[in-house]
Structures are given as structure tokens and as C-alpha cells.
Amino acid sequence: MFQGFIQIALTLLIVIAIAPILGKYIARVFLGERTLIEPVMIPLERIIYSLGGIRAKDDMTGWQYAQALLYTNFVMGVFVYLLLMLQGILPLNPTNLIAPSWHLGLHTTLSFLTNTDQQHYSGETTISYLSQIAGLSFLMFTSAATGLAVGIAFIRGLTGRPLGNFYVDLTRSITRILLPISIIGALLLLILGVPQTFAAPAVVTTLEGVTQYIARGPVAAFEMIKQLGENGGGFFGINAAHPFENPNSATNLIETLAMISIPAALIHTYGIFANNTKQAWLLFWMVFTIFVILVSVTAIGEYQGNPLVSSILGAEQPNLEGKEVRFGWAETAFWAVATTATMCGAVNGMHDSLMPTGGFSTLLNLFLQIVWGGQGTGTAYLFIYLILTVFLTGLMVGRTPEFLGRKIEKREIVLASVVLLVHPIVVLIPSAVTLAFPNTLSGISNPGFHGISQVVYEYASAGANNGSGFEGLGDNTLWWNLSTCLSLLGGRYIPIIAILLLADSMAHKQPVPETAGTLRTDSLLFTGVTAGVILILGVLTFFPVIALGPIAEAFKIANGQ
């Protein structure tokens, strides 16, 4: 028991240590300050800008930034979709895999394009090496960089700066952050046993005399950007539970830190941009506290195990169903909360096998989207809640709602409301339609309350751009592929457009001098109120499905059923 909780505690301490360091580096990159890798990257970036006809100093308005983002994403999506549809006749396909169905190819393309990486297929039997590298890995970099660019543009707007240039932010996100860290991380994973090869599957004869085909491929490079970019899509069907993706505790630690590092660091990046590190640390500790509570709830539930199983065995046993023994209950529980908190979506154990407390924690993360949140966009969502809290508290105490010296008015509240209302719409409506036709649409493999969680989780994962799932759901169907596409697109691009327009509106406001009546947002009291607003809005919006899913399932198990 103690060993498991010590592992969790040490991982949390490392997160606390690296977050401000990486946050400062990201701030230097986007503030145009000198970094160690500039001599290498500046010539490369100049070539990219020259080929693209980009002038690095041209700032964009919120709508121009959004248009550039949408246009770029559309072109990349068309390219990858064609690559998937033609993979059967293209090289680097040693197992002669044919193209997926048109709707599975569409879902896969949009899933990776939106930084979701929800997979309705098994990678080693569906996607060729070329499609994995030139298609899916390519989108892993660009989708992560897109989210990071939006987060930085939003921070600039909040702090009264021009939003910047999307193409420049996209390029710098890749060349100065994602690519250097991914190269170092991939080399470490390679040293620790993760394969990187273009060879065909290995053919071996087992002790029983049966021929077995062992899938392999260029996994190490794929794995690192999958974690660092909060993508989550696995090279293999069982994701990071596969020994070639995540062979031991050392690789598990590296991959866990990779998926938390950038979202946690961006809070400190904001503090540098706003010249208010006190507020950054308060927000960091607020998110950290919620995260630790959810990790504790999940870990305790997994350690105590299923009472029905324990009664049969005659002693309390941890819940090891759906887990790799090399990670055990502790590392699996921590990963499950971290991957849904960061919107990464990678798994090192099956979420379908978590105890109800684990199902509650993972679902709540997908509903809130700010603990720690997606790549860049999660930081934006956090400040959306801050803006709403400023507005609500200002109304309650009779003060003019202001944030960073800028008034919060009707336009900002409308845009903030759009950001927060899109998610329940793209989750609850398709969930209700699917559950209304359980025999023809749902594909549920578990009856009762757990089946409800399976369906809601799938749409929540798509809408939150997370990608993980309560596996066991029969989701490679026309209905699931197309309906989740709507959640993928709605959950990604509508909030991004609203976020950019809100940032642009804040950037053009004249600063208001601070007075004795100004509501300070860098206080412990205000941070506590913000946490309350986040939890109340998040829990109340989705309480019915939480009650009908993990809570009801917990009561059922407690009653011995």
C-alpha cells in the first residue's frame, strides 16, 4: 500500500518542480526572448516562413487568427484522409493493410486533427507504417501546436497584447517546444526498450509449436509526441498498456510526466505574461488540489478493490482487473486520472475495469476540462471560469467586474457562455439519442448503470478532445463514427473560435486604473470562490448522468449486487 502511494507522491513532486521551469521557457519562446536552441531553429523557421509567404511580425485579429487556424486544419485533414484511403497502394506497408472504411477513415482523421485521437480500430491491424508516421504522427504535432497556439493567443489577449500570428505560433510551438522535447523523450524511450523500426512483424514459433506474429514498428517517436502533445492515440490497440509502448516503470514515469508537463507549465506562463506570478501559483495550487483529490479517491478505490471479489477470496484485495501487473493499482489509478485531466486520452490500463470511484473521477475530468485541461485550450477554459467568477462576484458585492484591469461586459460573458455550453450539448444530446435505441445504436457490452457510463464516456471523451474510452463498446459502426465526429468538431472548433474572439475583445479594451473598489483576483479567497464555481457548474450540468452512472454503480456494488 505505502509503496503505491509513495510512487504517486514522488510523481506529484516532480510535476511541481518542472512546471515553473517549463512555464518560464514557454514564456520566453512566445515573448520573443532568446533561448538556447535559437541558433538552430531561427534558420529553419526562416525557411518555413519564406516557403509559406509568412511575415512573422504581422499580427492577426481574433477572426483572422481563427480563419487561419480553420483553413490550415482543413488542408491537413484532407491530406491525411487521402493518405489513409490510399494506404493500400502506398509504401511502408509490410503487412499489406487495406484502407479502412470511409467512415472509419473520416472519424480517425478528424479525431487526430482535433487532438482527440479517439480510436475505433486497433492500430497494428488497421494503419500502415506510412499512415502512422506521415499521417497520424504529423497530426499529433500540428494538432498539439494548434491548441498551444490558441492558448498563447488567449493569454496575450487577456494581458492586453495583440494576439500574434497563427502561422508563427504554430511553427514555434513545433520547432521550439514539441519537437526538441519529443526527440529527447523518444531517445530515452528507445534506450529503455521501446522499439523504433520499419521491419515487418516478427514471426516466431511458440513452445506449443504455433506460429505467432508479433507486431512492431516505429513506436518510440510515435509514443513521445502522443504523450507530450496530449494526443493519446496508441500505435497498438491496447495503447500504453502494451509492453512495446510502455515496457516498465521508468517509461511509465516519463510518459506520465510528458502528458502533464505542458498544461501545468502554461499556468506559470500566464503568470509571466501577466507579470503576476502570485495569481499563477494560486491557480496552480487550486488545480493541483482538485487533481490530488481525484487521484486519491481513485487510488483508494482501486486499492480497496471490489468487495464482491474480496468476499469470495476471504480478504481485501486491490482491483487488478484490466491492469498490467508491472504497473499495479497505484500507477494505473494515477495514469487514469492524469490522462483524463490533461485530455491526453492514452491509457496504461482499461478504464472500463476501474471501480466506480475511478469512473467518477475520469468522467468528472472530462466534464470540467480544466484539471489540467487540454493542450493550450485547457488553460483558456480555466480563465473562462475566472472571467465568469469575476462577473458573478462583482454582481454579488456591487463592484464593476474587471479582470487584469479590463472590464468584463456583455460580449465577454456571451462568448464565455458559448465556450462552456458547447460541451454539454455535444455530449448529452447524442448520448440521449444513443441510449434511446440501445439495441440498434449503442453497442453496449455491459448492462445497467455501467452501460450508461460507457455511452456517456464515449461522447464526453470526443467532446472534450480526450480520446480515451470505457472499452468494450462496439464503436466501429456507421452511427458511432459519424455521431462522434460531430462531437469532435463541435467540441474543438466552436470553443476555439469563441476563445479567440473573447481574447481579441479583451485585447482592445482600455485598461481601467485600479481603485479601492477593484476586486482583486490574486487572492486566496477569490481562488477558492473560483474553485467553487468550477465544481458547481461542472457537477450540476452533468449530475444526472453521474448519478445514473458511477454513483448508482457504486451503490449497487456496496449492496452486494
Write down the domain spans for the chain: 2-558
Residue 231 near residue 345 (C-beta atoms within 8 A):
yes
Rounded Cα gap, residues 461 and 455, in angstroms = 10
As a whole number, mean pLDDT of residues 62-81 equals 96
Report whether pLDDT(68) > 90: yes
Average of per-residue pLDDT across 422-448: 88
Q: What are phi and psi of 103, to 5 degrees?
A: -80, -30
User: pLDDT tens digit string along 166-191?
Assistant: 999 999 999 999 999 999 999 999 99
User: Residue 50: CB partners within 8 Å, gap ≥ 6?
Assistant: none
The 3-class SS string of 72-108 reads HHHHHHHHHHHHHHCHHHCCCCCCCCCCCCHHHHHHH
Q: What pLDDT is attached to residue 24?
A: 96
Q: How much is the pLDDT for 445?
A: 79
Q: How far is CA 189 from the centre of its chain?
A: 21
Residue 311 CA, chain-centre distance (Å), reads 38
Among 78-82, 396-400, 441-445, top mean pLDDT goes to 78-82
b/e 167-190 (16+ beta carbons within 10 angstroms → b): bbbbbbbbbbbbbbbbeebbeebb
Residue 398 pLDDT > 80: no
pLDDT at 462: 95
pLDDT of residue 442: 77
pLDDT computed for residue 285 by the predictor: 96
Alpha-carbon radius of gyration of the chain: 23
Q: What are phi and psi of 205, to 5 degrees?
A: -105, 125
Residue type, 203: V
What pLDDT score does 542 carry? 92
Query: How do residues 469-510 score in pLDDT, each as one tens digit?
Result: 887 788 889 999 999 999 999 999 999 999 999 999 999 888
Contacts of residue 21, Cβ cutoff 8 Å, sequence gap at least 6: 265
Q: What is the mean pLDDT of residues 530-542?
A: 88
Lowest mean pLDDT among 260-274, 314-328, 419-433: 314-328
Helix (H, G, I), strand (E, B) or coil at 184: helix
What per-residue confidence (pLDDT) applies to 290? 95
Tens of pLDDT, residue by residue over 196-219, are: 999 999 999 988 889 998 999 999
Whether the bond into 372 is cis, omega within 30 of 0:
yes
CA atoms within 13 A on the CB side of 544: 6
Q: How confident is the model at residue 517 (pLDDT cuts 50, 70, 90)?
A: low
If we measure between CA atoms, which residue out of 220, 204, 222 comes closest to residue 212?
204
Please give the pLDDT value at position 522.
83
Given a cut of 90, whether residue 291 has pLDDT beyond it is yes
Per-residue pLDDT averaged across 5-33, rounded? 94
CB 210 within 8 A of CB 216: no
pLDDT above 70 for 22? yes
Place of cell 483576483: 521
Res 253 pLDDT > 70: yes
Cβ within 8 Å of residue 430, ≥6 positions away: 459, 483, 484, 486, 487
d(CA 223, CA 220): 5
State the burial class of residue 308 (Cβ atoms within 10 Å of its Cβ: 0-12, 13-18, 19+). exposed
- Name the more confident of 53 and 190: 190
The pTM (predicted TM-score) of the whole model is 0.94
- The CA distance from 243 to 226, in Å, is 16
Q: Coil, strand, or helix at residue 147?
A: helix
What's residue 14's pLDDT?
Answer: 96
Position 1 scores a pLDDT of 65
The predicted-structure confidence for 120-144, as pLDDT tens digits, reads as follows 999 899 999 999 999 999 999 999 9
For residues 27 and 272, the answer to whether their CB atoms sit within 8 Å is: yes
Confidence at 443, pLDDT banded by 50, 70, 90: confident
Reading the block at residue 163, the C-alpha cell is 494576439
Average pLDDT over residues 515-533: 83
Name the pairing type of β-strands 402-403 and 406-407.
antiparallel
pLDDT, averaged across the chain: 91
The average pLDDT across 87-95 equals 93
423 pLDDT above the threshold of 90: yes
* 378 pLDDT tier (thresholds 50, 70, 90): confident
240: confidence class by pLDDT, cuts 50, 70, 90: very high
Cα separation, 389 vs 511, in Å, equals 19
Distances (CA, A) of 330 to 9, 249, 301, 338: 11, 11, 10, 12
pLDDT for 561: 64
